[in-house]
Amino acid sequence: MMRNVTTSSSSTRGIAAIVGVGPNLGRSVARKFAHQGYTVAILARDLGRLSRFADEIAREEKAQVYAIRIDCSDTQSVIEAFEGVLSLGFVEVLVYNAYQPIPLQYGGSCNFSDVRLDSFQKSVAVSSVGAFHCAQQVLPGMVERGRGTILFTGCAASLSGGTGLSEICCGKFALRGLSQCLAKEFYPLGVHIAHVIIDGVIGASRVVKVPQRSLVGEQLSIGGDGSMDPDSVAETYWYLHIQPRAAWTQEIDVCPPSPRFS
């Protein structure tokens, strides 16, 4: 199911498809690409909430925004959703930001024997299998045109396992491997594929400004609880998309200032 929210402004660029749009990072990434002149397709399971985000972004950025329902754990849902996305035109940018929340706070503990198989399978499906299907939908068009960007969102669990984190770690480990494999195969064909490690908590608002500049020359904002501002993190996704081909980044770590970097 697809809902179109549009304004009088029309884009001369391709489509930016943002999969896994929630109230923080996904919405900020979608807003950034809309601001830069892209027609944006935002995808998630909750079409009602997604449509509200589309209304907001379209109004603020005077952009064309399409809300499309997707369940990344369901292959047929991914195929149907991207039939709608591809009907809009050439998908120049794919951001895969989907993951399956687990009822466990990071750093907590959980007995492995308590993990349900269906929950484990769904988490792996959303984190990695869904990314596989989404990439397969857009890569043919990118290869045909010799350009395009695919950005996968990872996290600290992409790099290191931990007690009680088998569900998210296995899916995110696989996503990182997928990103590396696709990068090596498609870099020569003009497609930039990168993995973004979000090493910290992304909040909803700016509270504290710190005198540290990001890769794109903007201040990184952190909340009083140490969370990162999603609009600042979204700048990294834009930076990766516009990188010159002669020096593409395959993996980047985004984190708030902390003592371990001092």
Six token digits for residue 139: 């890569």
Structural domains in the chain, sorted by start: 2-200+234-255 (3.40.50.720)
Q: Which amino acid is at 20?
A: G
pLDDT for residue 101: 72
Minimum mean pLDDT range among 97-111, 131-145, 149-163: 97-111
**Residue reference for tokens 């952190």:** 222
DSSP 32-45: HHHHTT-EEEEEES
Single out the residue of 64, 63, 81 nearest to residue 72, CA to CA: 81
In the structure, what pLDDT confidence band is assigned to residue 262 with cuts at 50, 70 and 90?
very low
pLDDT for residue 111: 79
pLDDT for residue 261: 45
pLDDT for residue 102: 65
- Tell me the pTM: 0.86
pLDDT for residue 258: 66
**How far apart are the C-alpha atoms of 13 and 11, rounded to whole Å?**
5
Q: Which residue has the higher pLDDT, 186 or 7?
A: 186
**How far apart are the C-alpha atoms of 165 and 186, rounded to whole Å?**
31
Residue 11 scores a pLDDT above 50: no
pLDDT for residue 224: 52
What are the distances in angstroms from CA 221 to CA 33, 205, 229, 230, 235?
20, 9, 5, 9, 12
In the structure, what pLDDT confidence band is assigned to residue 215 with cuts at 50, 70 and 90?
very low
In the structure, what pLDDT confidence band is assigned to residue 4 with cuts at 50, 70 and 90?
low
Query: Cβ distance 93 to 33 under 8 Å?
Result: yes
**How far apart are the C-alpha atoms of 105 and 182, rounded to whole Å?**
31
Q: Tens digit of pLDDT for each residue in 39-95?
A: 999 999 999 999 999 999 999 999 999 999 999 999 999 999 999 999 999 999 999
Residue 155 scores a pLDDT above 70: yes
pLDDT for residue 213: 34
Average pLDDT, the chain: 86
**How far apart are the C-alpha atoms of 220 and 235, rounded to whole Å?**
10
pLDDT for residue 196: 97
In the structure, what pLDDT confidence band is assigned to residue 2 with cuts at 50, 70 and 90?
low
Residue 43 CA, distance from chain mean position: 11
Residue 208 scores a pLDDT above 80: no
pLDDT for residue 108: 45
